[in-house]
Structure 1
Amino acid sequence: MTSTSQSDPALDDEFLWLEDIYGDKPLEWVRSENAVTEDALINDAFLASEQRLLEVLDATDRIPMVGKRGEYYYNFWRDGEHPKGLWRRTTWDSYLTDSPDWDILLDVDELAEAEGQDWVWGGAQFLRPAEGEPYRRALIALSPDGGDAQRYREYDVVDRAFVEGGFDIPVAKSRISWAGPDALHVATDFGPGSMTTSSYPRTVRTLRRGQPLESAELSFEIPENSMMAVVVRDQTPGFERDIAAHIVDFYSSRTYLRRNGKWVHIDVPDDVNVSLHREWLVLRPRTDYELDGETYRAGSLQAVLLEDFLSGNRKLTTVFEPDAQSALQSWSWTRDFLLLNLLRDVSSEIRVLRPAKGWSSEILDACPPLHAVDAYAVDDEDDDAGNDYWLVATGFLTPTTVVRGTIGGQHREVKASPSYFDEAAFAVEQHFVESKDGTCVPYFQVASKDLVLDGGNPTLLSGYGGFEHAMTPAYSGVIGRGWLERRTEDGRHGVYVLANIRGGGEYGPAWHQAALHANRHRAYEDFAAIAQDLVDRGVTRPELLGCTGRSNGGLLVGNMLTHYPHLFGAISCGVPLLDMKRYTKLSAGYSWIAEYGDPDKPEQWEYVQTFSPYHRLREDVEYPKTLIWTATSDDRVGPVQARKMAARMKSLGIRDVWFHEALEGGHAGASDNRQAARMHAMSYEFVWKVLTGQL
């Protein structure tokens, strides 16, 4: 590989001034660009489409997903009347009805108005009560702007109030957990030296009730150049213990147990995922793992009794072994069983393992092909429901259903999502294409049943390809209304395509690792091969093909822009990484070196520069029409890479570049349903208008 420039790209960066996120001049530029984009996209048709999407997001008949704590089932809910949301609970009998009787615990809209702060819900952590007592105390996480930085406050669900004089941790990128009824494990910003280069906590301190935060006792710390330190308290009765994690990077960590006041390392390689459940230690290696003459394959799952392992017994039992078509996605323990969520050629399979019977395995239920099904325990500590499970099933054209069952017993459908578009008019297909290096890559196509393969169909190709995240089938009324149901003047529907490229987790860790660092181009070659296959099969042609991606997916489509501009007519690039020279110095970017490489090391910059869209732009290339969108309050990727990319494209005289920045919303791009509807509508409207010649 050769360098694109003999000088330092960072020193040649004429748009560094846009990195001042809240500076007057950058925000003036943002507002000016927003006005141009809104003027081009927002009209009566746009507003009508936006309203249809908001109807989906605000629908009062959508499924209220719940989590069980004690005798109650808890849910967080947003709709048109409660845009910031309600934290609420109900009983099981009530949840089974069409209109549950919800007990409102916290109205975030009322809280925001009363406190004059635009709070965004971040979740709740319960303190396990004493035996025989109800769940009462919880830590509530609230973000002031939808970003990752949150404030944690102690709340009493019986009194419906924040605890007077209770725990209150100021806004920061924190990791907090209960350490007992009167103590917390607090990983937060304690001042200089307490945060890692990745902008996450490097120290964990134990905070006692009534104690000032600055007086909390140091419990655990890691080097500054690691990613994050975390300590949690396992509250399982009979297995109470403190567990610490030294997260080195996204794919490496070290797990410790506190024994007799000291941290004891669970001695496995850093790239082995460690999980504890009661008496069991469960391990999932990301690369082949050799131990005492045995080799445990990457992506497999091993189990051993924790005390045996700590005593020196290294005889592991492999409870799952992957093959070329299957991969383990997640697992969940009921009281007596282990549930495995698998993908087989990106379709779900659920297996039940019985530890008491030599880890015997059987399929839980036959999952329909080309669907995603997730199984997990309802409450493994419940005396009566310890072996109950939730089964959540979804497909591109199958509204989500929630089933509750008992392993070895009966199951019943509990909730079903309504239909938001005419699913019967469409069909789902799975296709496989050979990438540049010969690897077979799958993708899903959702299209009208009367699709004509003459290259005349507006098509939207979506993907991600990073961080071992699998892209699976899912029902979306937003995609249905926002894209599939659109029609051209001659009556053609939009075609939606979801790519399963390398870098993701569709086939386990090897699928992910195939596109790391110097091999990043493989993910982009996979995506380009799918785009070309859509053309070769007659689904579409380049001027009618758009692509979209967010975050790492934004980097993906940024590379489509700079490496494969001839394949696309429109690109929608959301909350993206784009400047790969400075990404490690922006927001949480340093934590992603394990994924992309370190641009500050010359030998790694040699390959990182090849997939840095900001540095691959050229004046003499005809690029597809492009929308780059982001959010000011995104403190994970940050808005500045999107700003700089749009500014550089415009400075090079590249035509048809639009930029939009939501002034709130965090990395998701939206902090409530109204903002989410605007974000989705803007992306779909832009791509549709471009592909159909309206922009």
Structure 2
Amino acid sequence: MRKSIFHLLILAPLSGLLAVPALAQIETPAPGNLVTEETILAYPETKTVDVVDELFGEYISDPYRWLENDVRENEDVAAWVKAQNAVTNSYLETIEGREVLAASMTKLFDYDALSAPTEAGGKFFYERKSGGQNQAVLYVREGKDGKERVLIDPASWSADGATALAEWKPSGDGKFLVYAIQDGGSDWRTLKVIDVEKGEVLTDTVEWAKFTNLAWMPKNTGFLYSRFPKPKEGGTFQSLNKNQAIYLHPLGADQSKDYKVYDTPDRPELNHSAELTSDKEWIIITSSSGTDDRYEMTLIKVDAPEIKRQTLVEGFDYSWSLIDGIGDTLYFTTNKDASRLRVVKTDVSKLESRDVMCDGPDAETTICGKDVFVFSEVVPEHSATIDSAAIVGDKLYVDFIDDAKSRVEVFALDGTPVGLIDLPGLGTVSELNGSAKTATGYFAFGSFNRPTTIYSFSDAGKSAIWAKPDFPFDPDTIEVKQQFYQSKDGTKIPMFVVHKKDLDLSEGAPTLLYGYGGFNISVLPQYKPAWMAWIEAGGVFASANLRGGGEYGKAWHDGGRLQNKQNVFDDFIAAGEYLIAEGVTPENGLAIEGRSNGGLLVGAVMNQRPDLFAAGHAAVGVMDMLRFDRFTAGRYWVDDYGYPDKEQDFKTLLSYSPYHNIKSGTEYPALMVTTADTDDRVVPGHSFKYTARLQALDTGDKPHLIRIETRAGHGSGKPTDKLIEEYADIYAFLAKATGLDVVK
């Protein structure tokens, strides 16, 4: 189970920012007028409102707060979005190369994107998304060599292809499969059940599931899922997510009959996820309070005469992730006493009395005896970081991140090393799966120059191709190198640099630098058709493994969050400086890109070093660091960002908040901001407000535009045709700004 401020600038006195006329003196272009680089961009007039917050003695002006309103519900915001898209589209019409990039991406999407199979009852379930398909299709195969057939095809679910198959889980015997429907990119899910043999969708319908795992009970009596209460009218896409609970849905019943298995009404901020061991002996409930990997775990015996909840792990102190269980022995990965994680096990049939600190009389702390589960070490902490693990047969397979690339080691269940799994090169293992009941496991492997290939394995040193796509290009023509550079404080940072092997770099080449740096998320080698289109056009692609991620364990994550967040920006800036100093890219040829927390990254470094970059793409970014915790899932992010209502955190957040730190009178690089109307993860108001302020202040003549997609969310579930259209626009914009000739 693994899974989401700059120089202190006081925006008072009020007359300072509120007096900005929002470029009212610039007329909106008549329809059909094209904006060229030789003219001043005629941005739409954006009204301002008199909103000022006093926070810890400082007055913070927020003249664009009205843009936080839901674009689907507010006519003024909808009109602003329409006007901004009109200007952006007019500018994009002046750029050559969009059609060339779209054609290239269409070719590069033309392969079978595969998922690793899940085996259940002798059946194999897996997804395939072939070239031209907007959404992945779920297939089932009877036995290893059986004929595959389509089980679920989302193509008919919506006319625009924006309704996607999300999470799914077959029952243990493979007779039924519960699946989630994602509409328009939203995080909300509708759950349905299909009879696998008949291919018939049952009447079961579950609404308001979100951030959920799916777990079948024995004998197909029903499944466990997580949901929130139905939002109040008008709050579906913006209201805070609280009071998540785990429910058991009896197969064939109406949702009103679902039984609440676990909730914490006294702590409405907690999230809960349920899973079962593969032998269906135990339910493990994992609770979290935010995005940080700190969990409590609760244990429920499946066949007990009544539900008895036992605390397996108490206190939100460490990361715990269930690998699997064999009878009463459960295996976990944890970072308790191991920054880069280790594997432990516990016998849940045994409790030991231990002295612990507890509350005594008069609220004093005292020592008392308590029965607790005891964990013993199976695989100790390595120099590499554990990313995932699986028990297959009688072996334990552990996927390590070793300097931002994968390595899979094999152990006996007592921790004795057995060997390594052969991997085809530098890349990333994902979807590692199997169970103690099966002899064969599976994983997906990919890299920047290698679309995902599926492998099976049954012993150390042996892996075999289970399914391989026909690559839409020759991977041997693409060079992937890993390099290390020093950040501002001397920390060594890894970075991958990818380009065509025959590319002439004697004078450098336009370079696209990608980064994220947050939430313990490791950015590992992966194939993306849009990135490859940039590479095939003659550009260089670079991906930096910034602090804040999980590549080197907890210390690496801690080094880039809360009061250390500036390290992430320093790491990214240093990556750009390194690429220029090494001659990989010319000084005017560096573009940067980031999504979500990476959009925040782009906005922050644009403010801090506008001289370093030629262009940027800030996608679905967190741009207002003083109000991020007020919408949907934003409250979870305090683990990485801190609390805006705590003074020390407030000062840090204000020091780098992209929205608040735009420097008037400074020449900014060309910038494309992208978001979507149905993004209920990072609400689009972040991007709207940031763009409005960037356009209103004196930030130079280069284009500062926003592209707002409709019927799309934070990213997942977006149909292929929308992806191609979007990234053809974005990369043509970046190519123009960096001098990359995509038309040649």
Shared fold (TM-score, shorter chain, > 0.5): yes
The residue that corresponds to 2:357 in the other structure is: none
Match of 1:329 in 2: 387
Structure 1 gaps of 5+ residues are 96-100, 130-134, 290-295, 487-492
Equivalent AA in structure 2 for residue 405 of structure 1: F
Alignment of 1:637-656 (within 5 A): 637-654=682-699, 655=701, 656=703
Q: Is the alpha carbon distance of 1:672 and 1:399 closer, same or farther for their aligned partners in structure 2, counting shifts above 3 Å?
A: closer
Question: Relative to 1, partners in 2 of residues 1:62 and 1:302: Cα closer, same or farther, differing over 3 Å?
Answer: closer
Residue 503 of structure 1 is matched in structure 2 by 548
* Pairing partner for 2:408 from 337, 345, 350: 350
* Structure 2 counterpart of 1:365, from 408, 414, 421: 421
Which position in structure 1 is the counterpart of 2:325?
Answer: 277
- Structure-1 residue corresponding to 2:376: 316
Q: Does 1:297 align with 2:303?
A: no
Question: What is aligned with 2:39?
Answer: none
3-state SS in 2 of match to 1:444: strand
Q: Which moved more, 1:211-220 or 1:440-449?
A: 211-220
The 2-side partners of 1:693 and 1:87 are apart by 39
* 8 A contact 1:331–1:340 mirrored in 2: yes
Deviation at 1:205, TM superposition (A): 3.7
- What is the CA–CA distance in structure 2 between the aligned matches of 1:174 and 1:548, rounded to whole Å? 26
After superposition, residues 371-520 of structure 1 pair within 5 angstroms as: 371-374=427-430, 376-381=432-437, 386-407=438-459, 411-450=463-502, 454-480=506-532, 482-486=533-537, 493-520=538-565
> Deviation string for 1:354-378 (max 9, x for gaps)?
01xx311133235466332347234
Asked whether the equivalents of residues 250 and 257 of structure 2 are also in contact (C-alpha less than 8 Å), the reply is no
More off after superposition, 222-231 vs 193-202: 193-202
Choose from 582, 603, 611 the match for 1:558.
Answer: 603
Q: Does 1:684 align with 2:740?
A: no
The residue identity in structure 1 corresponding to 2:340 is G
Mapped pair 1:244 → 2:289: no
Aligned equivalent of 1:102, options 127, 137, 148: 148
State the Cα deviation string for residues 177-207 of structure 1 (Å, max 9, x = none).
Answer: 4445344435323357999985154233444
**1:126 aligns with one of 170, 181, 184:** 170
SS at match of 2:599: helix
Query: Residues 636 and 351 (structure 1 numbering): CA distance in 2 closer, same or farther, change over 3 Å?
Result: same
For residue 181 of structure 2, the aligned residue among 124, 139, 142 is: 142
3-state SS in 2 of match to 1:543 = coil
| Residues 640 and 257 of structure 1, relative CA distance in 2, 3 Å threshold | same
Q: Does 1:254 align with 2:283?
A: no
Counterparts of 1:498 and 1:594, CA distance in 2 = 25
Secondary structure of the corresponding residue to residue 481 of structure 2: strand
Q: Supply the distance in 1 between the matched residues of 2:144 and 2:439 (Cα, whole angstroms).
A: 19
Deviation, 1:146, is 2.0
Per the alignment, residue 234 of structure 1 pairs with: 276
Q: Secondary structure at the match of 2:665?
A: coil
Q: Is the 8 A contact 1:462 1:499 kept in 2?
A: yes
2:369 corresponds to: none
Letter in 2 for 1:373: V
Query: Distance between the aligned counterparts of 2:465 and 2:130, measured in 1?
Result: 24
Q: Cα distance, 1:118 vs. partner?
A: 5.8
Q: TM-score, normalised by structure 1?
A: 0.87
Match of 1:90 among 117, 120, 141: 141
Residue 84 to residue 315, structure 1, CA distance change in 2 (3 Å): closer
Letter in 2 for 1:535: I
CA change 1:30–1:103 in 2 (3 A) is same
1:220 equivalent to 2:268? Answer no
In structure 2, distance between residues paired with 1:647 and 1:606: 23
Distance 1:319 1:537, change over 3 A: same
Matched, 1:595 2:615: no
Is the 2:114–2:129 contact (alpha carbons within 8 Å) kept by the matching residues of 1?
no
Letter in 2 for 1:571: G
Question: 3-state SS of the aligned residue for 2:604?
Answer: helix
Question: What is the alpha-carbon distance in structure 2 between the residues aligned to residue 348 and residue 45 of structure 1?
Answer: 36
Partners of 2:523 and 2:284 lie apart in 1 by 31
* Cα distance change of structure 1 residues 191 and 81 upon mapping to structure 2, 3 Å threshold: closer
Match of 1:525 in 2: 570
Q: Distance in 1 between matches of 2:162 and 2:434?
A: 33
- Give the partner amino acid of 2:329: W
1:402-457 deviation line (CA, Å, top 9, x unaligned): 32222158543233333333544442222211111111111111134355555541
Q: What is the CA distance between 1:566 and its match in structure 2?
A: 1.3
Worse-superposed segment, 572-581 or 251-260: 251-260
Alpha-carbon separation, structure 2, partners of 1:210 and 1:89? 22
TM norm structure 2: 0.81
8 Å CA contact 2:390, 2:434 repeated in 1: no
Bigger shift: residues 142-151 or 220-229: 220-229
Distance of aligned partners of 1:14 and 1:309 in 2 relative to their CA distance in 1, 3 Å threshold = farther
**CA deviation string 1:219-278 (max 9, x = no partner):** 3222576644335352633x4233222212222221101255331111354223142422
Question: Partner letter of residue 126 of structure 1?
Answer: P
Aligned to 1:199, what secondary structure does the other structure show? coil
Look up the match of 1:629.
674
Structure 2: which amino acid aligns with 1:148? D
Instruction: Report deviation, 1:38.
Output: 2.1
Q: Which moved more, 1:469-478 or 1:499-508?
A: 469-478
1:110, distance to aligned residue in structure 2 (A): 2.7
Distance change (3 Å), C-alpha of 1:224 and 1:637: farther
Q: Decide whether the 8 Å contact of 2:521 with 2:549 is kept in 1.
A: yes
Which residues of 2 match residues 536-551 of structure 1 at below 5 A? 536-551=581-596
SS of the counterpart of 2:61? coil
- 1:114-148: CA deviation from partner (whole Å, max 9, x where unpaired): xx99632113222334xxxxx22222211221211
Distance 1:582 1:601 in 2: 13
1:278-336, Cα deviation, whole Å (9 max, x unpaired): 243334444xx4xxxxxx2222313223226634563622413132xx21111111121
- Out of 71-80 and 6-15, give the one that drifted further: 6-15
8 Å CA contact retained: 2:216, 2:276: no
Indicate the percent of aligned positions where both proteins have the same amino acid: 24
Distance 1:79 1:301, change over 3 A: same
User: In structure 2, how many angstroms separate the alpha carbons of the residues matched to 1:559 and 1:2?
Assistant: 13
**Cα distance change of structure 1 residues 199 and 664 upon mapping to structure 2, 3 Å threshold:** same
Match of 1:170 among 183, 186, 207: 207
Aligned to 1:578: 623
Deviations 1:644-667 (A, max 9, x none): 111111111434101101102221
Deviations 1:62-83, CA, capped at 9 Å, x for gaps: 5464332222222333446653
Q: Secondary structure, in 3 states, of the residue corresponding to 2:126?
A: strand
Aligned to 1:132: none
Give the match for residue 490 of structure 1.
none
Write the distance in 1 (CA, Å) between the matches of 2:145 and 2:606: 51
Whether contact under 8 Å (2:239, 2:631) holds in the other structure is no
Kindly state the Cα deviation for residue 9 of structure 1 after the two structures are TM-superposed.
7.2
AA matched with 2:311: H
* SS of residue in 2 equivalent to 1:567: coil
CA RMSD of superposed structures (Å): 3.0
* 2:281 counterpart letter in structure 1: E
